Structure 1
Amino acid sequence: MTEHPPAERFLYTTMGLLRRSDLGMILPHEHIFVDFRTPDQPGYGEADPADVVAAISHRFEEIKARGITAFVECTPTGVGRRADVDLAVSLATGVPVVVPTGSYREPWVTPFVRTADDATLEAWMVRELTERFDEADFRAGWIKLSAGDDAISPLEERILRAAARAAARTGAVIGSHTMRGRVALQQMDIIEDEGYTANRFIWIHTQKETDLGFHDAAVARGAWIEYDHVSRDPDEEVKALILRALDAGHADNLLISHDVGWYDPAKPGGGNQRPYTHLSDVMMPLLRQAGVDEATLKRLTEDNPFLAYARPA
């Protein structure tokens, strides 16, 4: 039998497909544009891309100055995804942005996702991953979902199953806003039941689960755990959680980011966009002082984000 080398993987961005060699540090969980009003509210998701560019471009100039080479946008449909806005910000600043297909949880599910049958949901995600977004002419880089804080609703499970089938067809990673460890493990069960693999699952907001045994259990199944509260919780708490994960042997499965930004069309002028610089300016120096070596920091901030989000061409 002839053995074939593994397929090369790429980050799918607003600026095309990028190889690992094209990239340095990547922010794996941030936001450019979010609207937490439900999709049935007047003015939901509405903004002129030029206004968003004007409001948020300086935040992208800040991360460029710190060597950030790519930015993962984590806003799915249901909470105001605007791939056209992401593209405009990216082109204006020169920062590649990775944008998801997929849907947020109830009650933020759009009418299309709520009423589409299973095959249509799957086909929609595959099309956005392989052809183009509904609202912009570039391809989705991954699938973003969510689940209820205490349980997965029947609709959320149906969306997850469609996502797992779409991911199996494309190699995309599935990330989910999930607060409870038992729910995250249930999501992995569903993904595997649909024929995909837990090592292509990102448990977003893992830090919200205070029983660290669930963190260990997720890594044991191959999943990515994500501590995305840098700058939002006290630095010593964030540092301690990262160090504990490293001591537990989770360096190869850990993502760290801020989960900040963003332009909010429900607020005058888009609100106040928080900076994406605390990881570079504060947390990485604190980790160095705690004895984390440069190879591990590179793994956490460069290698892991690429490996998590990249997929074959």
Structure 2
Amino acid sequence: MIYTVRGPIDKTQMGRTLSHEHLDWIFDQNFASRMYFGKQYDEDYNQKIFDKVLPIISGLREAGCQTIVEASPPLGGQNLKLLYDLSFKTNINIIASTGINITKYAYHIFPEKFEEQLAKKWIQDFEEGLDVIDNVCIKPGHIKLLLERGGVNNVDKAMLKAAAIACKATGMSIHCHVLEAEHMPKVMKILEKMEVPPHKFVWAHADYESNREMILEVVKKGYWIGFDTIQAGKYEERKELIDHALEHNYSHQVILSEDYDFYAESKKKDGIERYCAFFNVFVPYCIENGIPQDVIESMIVDNPARFYDI
């Protein structure tokens, strides 16, 4: 089962999927907290963002996209009312998340049983829903984490443990932002100790450093890889990573995306073209340069359907 902002669907209904996008990242944590904890939405603000983002999502629909995974966690301003309205208007599936919903500084104030309390909240988000809009109980479809640069610190360890508890209790996959490949061994050690099934964890932004040696170490243990910064100017490099996945037989463990911010892109003259380029330019580019069409299609249809299936 796939949980979208318009309710659950079967995984066969996901179709072509962008697995890591941001509709509108919000840095104002007070604003984000009012939406998450208080279910309070600013209708004027939402209308402004809706008007700007709608043309991009409509363009993606025309390009063949059927599902978008919102990778902004609650503290990043995940806006369920906006997601619901855009999904309803365009008929594109949008998958919301739970995950980082409090400032990480809270760990230094309440370290005792921090992970248990955090996991309890994430489990509650799944069991009771993040919000109810138009009688639709919106459940999160994954757990989003962002690890800090410079090492896996104590709060990151606690959040990984909380995610492990919530993952095993609900079946939600863990979608974890890690920019520095050297820290993945520590991450995997925590996951292994917490007995997280490897197929329930994706290393988001594995293409950021494109550390092939570490990528192979991760996939050999059964974890997933996100090649999710496929943006203009990077097509050749990302295509070579897909070649690497085929060469080493792990293309079935890879999800693909662009990692743009819809609202930020909407301010650019070529915003729609840039966003739709994944389907209109990158996919044809891969096929023209030797990647079988059925393989690239499987990576954007079958793979996310398996990874996000609960």
Q: Is the 8 A contact 2:129 2:139 kept in 1?
A: yes
Q: How does 1:174-253 map to 2 (within 5 A)?
A: 174-253=174-253
Q: Is the 8 A contact 2:144 2:175 kept in 1?
A: yes
Match of 1:35 among 26, 33, 58: 26
Find out whether 1:12 has 2:12 as its counterpart: no
Counterpart code for 2:52:
A
| Aligned twin of 1:5 | none
| Aligned twin of 2:17 | 26
Task: Supply the distance in 2 between the matched residues of 1:119 and 1:228 (Cα, whole angstroms).
Answer: 30
Q: Shift in Å at residue 134 of structure 1?
A: 5.2
Counterpart code for 1:242:
I
Gaps of 5+ in 1: 1-9
* Worse overlay, 168-177 or 43-52: 43-52
Q: How does 1:49-198 map to 2 (within 5 A)?
A: 49-103=46-100, 109=104, 115=110, 117-133=114-130, 137-198=137-198
Task: Supply the distance in 1 between the matched residues of 2:286 and 2:82 (Cα, whole angstroms).
Answer: 34
Task: Supply the distance in 2 between the matched residues of 1:214 and 1:21 (Cα, whole angstroms).
Answer: 32
Q: Which structure carries more helix by proportion?
A: 2
Superposition CA RMSD, Å: 2.8
Q: Is the 8 A contact 2:242 2:251 kept in 1?
A: no
- 1:120-175 alpha-carbon deviations (Å, 9 max, x no partner): 21111111122211586410000000111221121121111111100001111101
Find out whether 1:287 has 2:286 as its counterpart: yes
Q: Is the 8 A contact 1:104 1:144 kept in 2?
A: no
Task: Supply the distance in 2 between the matched residues of 1:113 and 1:303 (Cα, whole angstroms).
Answer: 41
Q: Shift in Å at residue 91 of structure 1?
A: 1.8
Counterpart code for 1:175:
H
Q: Shift in Å at residue 228 of structure 1?
A: 1.1
Q: Identity rate of aligned residues, in percent?
A: 22
| Aligned twin of 1:305 | 304
Task: Supply the distance in 1 between the matched residues of 2:88 and 2:172 (Cα, whole angstroms).
Answer: 24
**Count of residues in Structure 1 that have an aligned counterpart in Structure 2:** 295
CA separation of 1:187/1:135 partners in 2, compared to 1, >3 Å: closer, same or farther? farther
| Aligned twin of 2:38 | none
Q: Shift in Å at residue 62 of structure 1?
A: 0.6
Task: Supply the distance in 2 between the matched residues of 1:94 and 1:114 (Cα, whole angstroms).
Answer: 43
Q: Is the 8 A contact 2:2 2:9 kept in 1?
A: yes
Task: Supply the distance in 2 between the matched residues of 1:294 and 1:111 (Cα, whole angstroms).
Answer: 47
